[in-house]
Amino acid sequence: MRKYPYNFMLKRPVLRCFWIAGISNCLPAMLCGQPTAAKPAPEKPAPDAQELAPMVVTAESANDRIIQGPFMPEVVGTNIYAGKKTSVMDFDSLPQIQTDNYRQAFAKTPGLLTSEVSNASLLSLNYRGIGDPHETQNMMVLKNGIPFVLDPLGYSTVYFAPPFESLDRLEFVSGGAALLFGAQPSGALNYITHQPDRSSPFKATTQQLMGSDNLYSTFNTVEGGNDKFGYLVNFDHRSGDSFRSRNSDFELNGGEISLFYDIDQKQRLTASFEMYESDHGEPGGRTVADYADNTYDNLLNHDRVRLDRTFGSIGYELGDEQTKWITQAWASDVVRYSKRQTGQGFGTVTGNQLDINEHTYYTLGLDSRLRMDYDLGGEVSTFTAGLTAMDIRAPIFLERTTANDLTSDRGDQLRFDALRNSRYAALFAENLFRFNRFTITPAIRLEYNEQEMDEKVNIAKPPANLIQDQRSEIVPLGGLGATFETTNDTEIYGNISSSYKPPTYTDAFPLGGADTISDTLDAGQVVNAEIGFRGRPTSWSSFDASVFHIDYDNRFGRVGSNIQNVGRSINEGFSLSGEIDLYDLIHGKSDISLNWYTAYQYLDAEFTSGPLTGRTPQYAPDHMLRTGLVFQKENEWKFAAMLTHLSDHWADDANTVNANADWSIPAYTVLDLTAEFKVWDGSVGGVDSKAWLLCGMNNALDERYFSRVRANGIDPANGRNYYFGMRAEF
């Protein structure tokens, strides 16, 4: 019987990225004959000091601490954001967020829902009630423009995310307006990391944190450079016992090397190499009664999930203010391993064996984008176009241990073995036409998606029924965005865009012995429409208000043993976000600020056709409110009080309540208190140095709640917990 040994820090063939590098090195010749940049448009009178869309600093180091946002400018790099609903979550505006608390990270952003997990094992997000948040399967998630989902369409899950300490900001593009990044119906979340500080040859930081439940976290960097060259190296470690009674411990280690070389004023080469490993216990779900009596007890003592990720990329940038071309190529090798006890039900377990499941994802990818500004009728218009391509080879197997064996890492019986292949390509183009105060941006995207399944072993089927099949599709998508500048500081914007959700591997190729797939199974079709009003009318205020309508047809589901399209839902409502600097309002601009922020969304979601007609889609609360105060003195101290409230909602589309399971999530309100302040400012060996004290109290009101229900029961959220630590910069 074939064995697949699992070892942390596997040295797999990630160096295949240099095969792509050969292609990328040939591409600069494509621009040798590029057209001369169009004559710039006549200069306009200078606007007031507060503009609607200030320039985003795309290469900010950790020491810059420049607060950007709250929404994206019209054009950044090779991407057009005009007419799109966007949010910028700049971490410089808050005390350092610890232990990847996404509830705090999304404090100023309406509509993004976090399904909180017992430990740091995976990322679970959804947006405006579009699909199960488990592993963020309906959203494109990227790091500096490169996707890090395991397979964008075949298995679009997220088991890794960059540590918050490495980030300058998060950028989110809502719904179908994210055609520049992909076709996912919820939109795109882009993690933007810090760039190296080139002001000196060497700088370093170290951060050490301790907290409740044996939490220990450390994040360390060294960086430096000069006018030509820059480097940044970081190492991240987190471990703890979490808050469940047993088997909720976690440990993860990650490191990254980033290199930058400026050939001249118009050309830059970049490279990065990352390694990451994690090991997490899965304590299992609770029944309603068990949750009420013993909230934090565990169900499962042996279930584990482990991840090993190796990643490398190279990039080339060419251009100036009128024309820019950016190409990135990457290769990654990800192993996802799990062992889970058999016979699991809603808060119950009856089996005495373990299922050992391992996926491996070998990925090659390329993303190339061009932006050109040109003169049209005396105004500067912008054209962007690009190509994204990925090839993914994904073997998978399942083994089972013998009876009463709940400790082994390998099974004795091979139950399933298959090779999956996925090929993905997309061509896209957008053009921002400017007519004085009005802009219009049509967008098109052509998606090619190919999936292949080759079953070698599946004991649930006779050998004659094993799948050796392939499916492919070409899908055109389109969008249209527009803005109207009402003043120099405010604008009306609108967007209507299409997106789609193709069948995953398990949707397209049923693996159960009795499972069948409908002959008419179609990809889910989604239309997102939104109109809003946003701006920065004063030096002390900003706002963004919009109404939206989401039509999601051909949703996937199961009727008996048949996988088919099960209906249509309509999700609509409005969102409002805003921020006021109360100190600036009263005293005028200074280095002290007292910001009151609010982010609210009302959502009305309902199935309008199919077997679920009249029911509410999962994770679609009517009300989501985030509000709080951030009090700070620039480069000295920050204090934040952040309140999150979600109304009651459902964790499944069927809205299930019966004697065995209850999938309802009651309303909850959580208050977080965080702070950081400088305790020392001096020099070490002639180098300017600083020390900061960090501390926080999460769930300060000790709310007893849960925000996640799965097939194995209720997953409790953490009660009141603390952390404290230091960060040194030198």
What DSSP designation does 511 have? Answer: -
**Which H helix or E strand runs over 357?**
strand 354-376
Name the residue type at position 531: I
Question: How far is the C-alpha of 453 from the C-alpha of 411, rounded, in Å?
Answer: 23
pLDDT at 562: 67
Q: How far apart are the first and last CA of the chain?
A: 55
> Is 162 a domain residue?
yes
In tens, the pLDDT along 73-106 reads 999 999 999 999 999 999 999 999 987 899 999 9
In tens, the pLDDT along 206-260 reads 999 999 999 999 999 999 999 999 999 999 999 999 899 999 999 999 999 999 9
630-639 b/e (C-beta count within 10 Å ≥ 16 → b): bbbeeeebbb
Q: Check whether the bond before 70 is cis (ω within 30° of 0).
A: yes
Percent of the chain with pLDDT over 70: 90
- Computed over every residue of the chain, the mean pLDDT equals 89
Number of H helices, E strands in the chain: 5, 38
> Is 317 a domain residue?
yes
Give yes or no for a contact between 639 and 633, defined as CB atoms under 8 angstroms apart.
Answer: no
- Tell whether the model's pLDDT for residue 42 goes beyond 50: no
pLDDT at 48: 42
> Is 95 a domain residue?
yes
> Is 535 a domain residue?
yes
Question: How far is the C-alpha of 58 from the C-alpha of 77, rounded, in Å?
Answer: 8
- For residue 343, the enclosing domain spans 14-30+62-729
In tens, the pLDDT along 380-414 reads 999 999 999 999 999 999 999 999 999 999 999 99
Q: Is residue 131 exposed (0-12), middle (13-18) or buried (19+ Cβ within 10 Å)?
A: buried
- Tell whether the model's pLDDT for residue 12 goes beyond 90: no
pLDDT at 118: 80
- Tell whether the model's pLDDT for residue 727 goes beyond 80: yes
- The pLDDT confidence band at residue 422, using thresholds 50, 70 and 90, is very high
- Give SS3 for 516: strand
Looking at per-residue pLDDT, the higher value among 519 and 35 belongs to 519
Mean pLDDT of 585-606: 96
Name the residue type at position 372: M
Compute CA 467 distance to the chain's CA centroid, rounded to the nearest angstrom.
33
Mean pLDDT of 533-540: 96
Spatial CA neighbour of 221 closest among 260, 167, 295: 167
Q: Could you tell me the sign of the dihedral formed by the alpha carbons of 287, 289, 291, 295, in that order?
A: negative
- The pLDDT confidence band at residue 57, using thresholds 50, 70 and 90, is low
Residues 6+ apart with CB under 8 A from 393: 361, 362, 419, 420, 421
pTM of the predicted model, to two decimals?
0.90
Residues 6+ apart with CB under 8 A from 44: none
Going by their DSSP bridges, the two strands 379-400 and 354-376 should be labelled as antiparallel
Total structural domains within the chain: 1
- The pLDDT confidence band at residue 318, using thresholds 50, 70 and 90, is very high
Tell me the CATH number at 436. Answer: 2.40.170.20
Residue 215 CB coordination number (10 Å): 21
pLDDT at 34: 36
pLDDT at 11: 38
Spatial CA neighbour of 247 closest among 279, 213, 283, 214: 283
Question: How far is the C-alpha of 138 from the C-alpha of 593, rounded, in Å?
Answer: 37
Bridge partners of 121, per DSSP, are none
In tens, the pLDDT along 168-207 reads 999 999 988 889 998 889 999 999 999 999 999 999 999 9
In tens, the pLDDT along 338-382 reads 999 999 999 999 999 999 999 999 999 999 999 999 999 999 999
> Is 43 a domain residue?
no
Looking at per-residue pLDDT, the higher value among 256 and 137 belongs to 256
- The pLDDT confidence band at residue 63, using thresholds 50, 70 and 90, is confident
- Give SS3 for 314: strand
- The pLDDT confidence band at residue 6, using thresholds 50, 70 and 90, is very low
> Is 263 a domain residue?
yes
pLDDT at 33: 36
> Is 55 a domain residue?
no
Residue 498 CB coordination number (10 Å): 20
pLDDT at 503: 80
pLDDT at 506: 75
What DSSP designation does 617 have? Answer: P
H, E, C per residue of 462-499: CHHHCCEEEEEEEEEEEEEEEEEECCCCEEEEEEEEEE
Mean pLDDT is highest, among 516-530, 569-583, 685-699, for: 569-583
Q: In this structure, what token pair is assigned to residue 260? A: 């930058």
pLDDT at 209: 96
pLDDT at 518: 72
- DSSP conformation letters of 242-303: -SSSSS--EEEEEEEEEEEEEEETTEEEEEEEEEEEEEEE----B-HHHHHHSTT--S-SS-
> Is 51 a domain residue?
no
- Tell whether the model's pLDDT for residue 538 goes beyond 70: yes
Mean pLDDT of 590-610: 96
Spatial CA neighbour of 194 closest among 162, 216, 217, 146: 162
